[in-house]
Chains A and B, each alone.
Chain A
C-alpha cells in the first residue's frame, strides 16, 4: 500500500496547500480524486511521488515509513511509484526520440526489446518511436510518458490531470491501458467528474481527503467501472 496520513505541505510555511490530507492506494484499485484546478491536487501527487517533502504527516510505502524525499529519496523506493503529468511536452526533452523517452526509466542495461515491449503496451508503433516530440501529437507523447512511467516497474501509478490536454480518443486509450494493468494501484486526479466516474473503482472529492482515512473511504462514491471499458 501507498498511504498518506495527515499530510501538510505547500510552498510557504504559513499557507499550506495540503492541510491534513489522508489517502490510501492499494494494488489493483484505481482511486479518483475530484477537485477544481488550483486546489492542491498536483501538490498531493508530488508528495506521494516523493518529489516534495511534506511539512507534517506521514507517507508509508509498502509498510515502511518514508523519511527522505526528492533527491534524497532512495532510488529503490522511487522506482515503485510512477508519475504521469498533465503537460506531456513540458515533461520530456524535446531533443530525444520517443524511443529514448520510453526507455528512460528502464533499469540500466535493459535489452532494447524491453523498450519495444513498453511501447507496444501503450500502442506506440515503431515508426512513432523514431520521431521526436514535435513530430507527434499530445496524445502520442502522453503515451510515451505513460510507457516511461511504467518502465521502472512501479506498483503505484499517479496521474495528474493526465488526459486534460488530450482529445477524447487519446484519453480513452490511455485510461484503457491503465485499467488493463490490474497489478497497479492507481491514483487519478482530475477536475472531470465524467472521466473519473468512467474509469475509477472509487471517486473521492477533494474535501473528503481531509477527514480521517477511514471516513474518507466510507464517504467515497463507490462505482463499478463501465462494463464496456474492457471490450477490445
Chain B
C-alpha cells in the first residue's frame, strides 16, 4: 500500500545561546496503512523531537529542513491554524506518555470523549452511541465510560486515552513512549491495542525505548542513534539479525538477550562528531574507516560503512 506519511530528509536543530543542538539529522521514512513502525533508541537520541516535528509541535526556536508529507499535504509548510484545525487529532492523533495525566480528574471518561467527538466530528449525530462504539473498539466495556478517572485502573485509563486518540478517526496514530513506568502486563496490553489499530488499516508510529514492547508488535523498526536513523527494516529481520553494530549492542543489553551494556555514552547532540557518531562505542571501529552514508541493502536501510555489517552476526 502507498504511504500515508512520508518523511523526507528531515532535519531539526535548535539554536541556543551558546550551542546548536542537532536533534534530528536527515531522517527519511515512509509509513503505510496497516503498518506499525517502532522507532527505538536510547534516551536523548532525538526520538521525541522527531515526534513533535510530525505533529507540528516544535518550539519556535526549531530550525526545520526537509519535508513531512501527510498524503499530499506538506506538514512542514503548514501553518499552525491548518495543523490545529485540520491535522492534529483528525488525521494524526497522539497517544500521550501518561494516561493518568492526560485525563481531566473532575469529569467522567464519557464526557471527555463526547466533548472530543463534538469538536473533531461535528457530523456525528448520536454522540453517546459513537462513544460506546469507540470504547468497544479499544476493549473497554462502554459502562466503564461513566467512571471518573480515579475510578479507572491503569489499564482502563490507557484504553480511554486510546479511545480519545481515535475519536477523530485519524489515519496516523503516533504514540510517544506510551508505556513508560507501566507494569509488563499493562505494557503488553497497551502495545497490543496499538497493533490492533494497525491491523485495522491505520498507520501507527510507536516511539519507545522498550525493545521488548517494540519486538512484540512492530511490523517495521527504525533504530535512531545520535539524531540519525542508523538501521530500518522489517521488524522480524532486524530483531533476529541486526546489522548495525548499535542495533546489536542495544539488543544485547536487554535482560532477555545477555544484559550486556554498551560501553560509553551517547554523544551530546550539541557536539556531534564528524562521520559516524557511534564510532567511539563501536566494537568494529578499528577495521572501519569510512563515513557511513545511508544505503539500501536487501530491503533494509543501513547507515554503517563497515563491509561486513550486513553479514550474518559474528
Contact = CB atoms under 8 A, between A and B. Distances in A.
Interface of A: 36-37, 86, 123, 125, 128, 137-140, 161, 164-173, 175-176, 191-195, 197-199, 226, 228-229, 231
Contacts, number: 85
B280 to A, nearest CB: 11
Given A137-B266, A167-B43, A191 B184 contact: yes
Contact of B43 (A125, A166, A176): A166
A59 to B, nearest CB: 28
A12 B42 CA distance: 40
Contact of B261 (A36, A125, A170): A170
Interface string B201-215: 000000001011000
Given A173-B262, A193-B184, 4 more contacts: A36-B183, A137-B44, A176-B259, A199-B255
Interface string B167-201: 00000000000001111110000000000000000
Please indicate which of the listed interface residues A86, A167, A193 has the most CB atoms of chain B within 10 Å of its own CB. Answer: A167
Interface in B19-77: 41-44
B250 interface: yes
B255 A194 contact: yes
A172 B185 CA distance: 21
Which secondary structure dominates chain A's binding surface?
A: helix
A137 B255 CA distance: 21
B254 A168 contact: yes
A169 B261 contact: yes
Contacts of B256: 194, 198
B260 interface: yes
B115 to A, nearest CB: 29
Interface string B260-282: 11101110000000000000000
A18 to B, nearest CB: 19
A86 B249 CA distance: 24
A176 B261 contact: yes
Contacts of A191: 183-184
29 contacts: A36-B183, A37-B181, A37-B183, A86-B181, A138-B43, A139-B43, A164-B181, A165-B181, A167-B42, A167-B43, A168-B251, A169-B249, A169-B253, A170-B43, A170-B261, A172-B253, A172-B260, A173-B261, A176-B259, A176-B260, A193-B184, A194-B212, A194-B254, A198-B255, A198-B256, A226-B258, A226-B259, A229-B259, A231-B260
